[in-house]
Amino acid sequence: MERRVVITGMGVVAPSACSLAGFEAGLREGRSGIRYQPELEALQFSCRIAGKPELNEALTGRYFDPLELRGLSSTGIQYGVIAGMQAWEDAGLPLNSGTPDWDSGTIFGNGNSSVEKFREAIYKIDEGQVRRLGSTSVPQTMVSGISAYLGGKLCLGNQVSTNASACTTGTESLLLCYERIKNGKAERMLSGSTSDSGPYIWAGFDALKVCTYKHNDNPEQGSRPMSASAAGFVPGSGAGALVLESLESAKKRGANIYAEVCGGHINSGGQSGEGSMTAPNPDAVQRCISRALADAGIAASAVDAINGHLTATTRDALEIHNWCIALGRKGKDFPPIGALKSHIGHCLSASGSIECVAAVLQLQKGFLFPNLNCEDLHPGITEWIDASCVPQQMEERPLKVVAKASFGFGDVNACVLLRQFNN
């Protein structure tokens, strides 16, 4: 029999805050985590603003010992380990029992292995200093380094692996963990994703001219999803993590339950039709949403809010169109939609998991966070939905069902349905 799956713990390292409480406060306040980055100007980037978490010694020292931190240049591993262990603690689970927990595992996503460490290694190799690469060069540069670090720190004995599907990674991770628990292959899974920060990660997007350059002098105004004056996305980084658990296990432990994962769908448009490496196939997006609803057994009319992908590019209006077609809802009947990237920028492979954390907080606490910088809604959006469906002020509102979707390079899609927990 298929089992019910719930969320019992969450952690987050985001440009706006590096704790769950701080992150929620930032959501409610509409606090921007986007700042001017001097190193991007020095390197002659067009976009010189970004969303970058602010770590400190107290925070990193809580989850890494001094020996581990020596030579640990991968910010992605630092972000992911901190968020993952925060989530594990939040769920009331032991950090390390000393013996493998055969019922617990992780599928923790990543977009890039440590480019900074690769760069350091290349210079040493070219200088004939192979023996000075250090003992952490391999775990830092393998894509699965993040899940390997977490697997060891939490002594996980079930599946320990990493998924990588561009900007869809985090939402896909949640669904992969959900399926494993639902099918009885694990009791608990740590879902999440992370992304390194810095110029070596962001340079390619700047070169593609998909990042904004118009707000270098006013960073907080730079990320403008759904706006007619949007000029591209603001790059970001960080990590989000969620502990998924069978309902039976959660009840047995007396765990706090944030929400229930009801189902979802993952697909690809095959880079056919209107789809390409960088653009979504609308048919695939609509199919992903409708199949997610069917898998969850939830009617489109029951969706109370949407946490969108919405990156502040020309594709935002198309995303709204796809939601309208898939849900069969438009005008004032369309559910409120939120774009977290207006707060923190586009955190790439970490975006889906950070946004899933935000969606669960909205669902559990009953509120809609404000969409920033979209006073001038794109006419391609207001053609389909009423402006009231894009809240620009924080609003307290009971929510029972939230839909979260992510769409990534390679024409890949993932959509999950989250529901307020009810016995």
pLDDT at 119: 63
What does the alpha-carbon distance between residue 163 and residue 366 come to, in Å, rounded to a whole number?
Answer: 31
- The token duo for 71 is 């030579």
The bridge status of strand 188-195 relative to strand 395-396 is unpaired
Query: Could you tell me if 39 and 115 lie in one domain?
Result: yes
What does the alpha-carbon distance between residue 44 and residue 37 come to, in Å, rounded to a whole number?
Answer: 11
**Residue 340: CB atoms within 10 Å:** 30
CA atoms within 13 A on the CB side of 197: 28
pLDDT digits (tens, 9 = 90+) for 373-385: 999 999 999 999 9
Strand partners, 377: 227
Q: Which of 244, 259, 274 is the last residue of a domain?
A: 259
pLDDT at 59 over 80: yes
Query: Could you tell me if 106 and 174 lie in one domain?
Result: yes
State how far the alpha carbon of 323 is from the alpha carbons of 319, 338, 367, 387, 395, in Å.
6, 13, 21, 15, 22
The residue with tokens 């809010």 is 305
Residue 132: pLDDT band (50, 70, 90) is low
pLDDT digits (tens, 9 = 90+) for 322-345: 999 999 999 999 999 999 999 999
Phi-psi region of 155 (alpha: psi -120 to 50; beta: other; left: phi over 0): left
pLDDT at 218: 97
Query: Could you tell me if 272 and 246 lie in one domain?
Result: no
116: CATH: 3.40.47.10
State how far the alpha carbon of 315 is from the alpha carbons of 54, 210, 419, in Å.
30, 11, 28
pLDDT at 282 over 80: yes
- What is the domain extent for residue 157? 5-259
pLDDT at 67 over 90: no
Q: Which of 220, 240, 259 is the last residue of a domain?
A: 259
* Run of H or E residues at 207: helix 199-207
Query: Could you tell me if 237 and 271 lie in one domain?
Result: no
pLDDT at 141: 72
**Residue 61: CB atoms within 10 Å:** 11
Query: Could you tell me if 176 and 114 lie in one domain?
Result: yes
pLDDT at 7: 98
Query: Could you tell me if 186 and 284 lie in one domain?
Result: no
Range in 39-43, 132-136, 162-166, 285-289 with the lowest mean pLDDT: 132-136
Average pLDDT rounded to a whole number, residues 388-399: 97
Query: Could you tell me if 161 and 300 lie in one domain?
Result: no
Q: Read off the pTM.
A: 0.95
CA-closest candidate to residue 208, choices 382, 46, 371, 415: 46
* Run of H or E residues at 60: helix 57-63
Q: Which of 237, 259, 281 is the last residue of a domain?
A: 259
pLDDT at 96: 82
DSSP string across 346-414? B-GGGHHHHHHHHHHHHHHHTEEPPPPS-SSB-HHHHTTB-GGGS--S-EE---SEEEEEEEETTTEEE
Query: Could you tell me if 167 and 280 lie in one domain?
Result: no
Query: Could you tell me if 220 and 305 lie in one domain?
Result: no
Query: Could you tell me if 375 and 314 lie in one domain?
Result: yes
Please classify residue 155 by burial: count the beta carbons closer than 10 Å to its beta carbon, then call 0-12 exposed, 13-18 middle and 19+ buried: middle
pLDDT digits (tens, 9 = 90+) for 225-278: 999 999 999 999 999 999 999 999 999 999 999 999 999 999 999 999 999 999
What does the alpha-carbon distance between residue 315 and residue 311 come to, in Å, rounded to a whole number?
Answer: 8
- The token duo for 190 is 């740590």
**Residue 151: CB atoms within 10 Å:** 23
Q: Cα dihedral sign for 89, 362, 25, 37?
A: positive
Q: List the Cα angle 385/388/394 in 5-degree steps.
A: 135
What does the alpha-carbon distance between residue 417 and residue 335 come to, in Å, rounded to a whole number?
Answer: 14
How many domains are there within the chain? 2
Query: Could you tell me if 317 and 379 lie in one domain?
Result: yes
**SS3 of 102-162:** CCEEEEEEECCCCHHHHHHHHHHHHCCCHHHCCCCHHHHHCCCHHHHHHHHHHCECCCEEC
Query: Could you tell me if 248 and 129 lie in one domain?
Result: yes
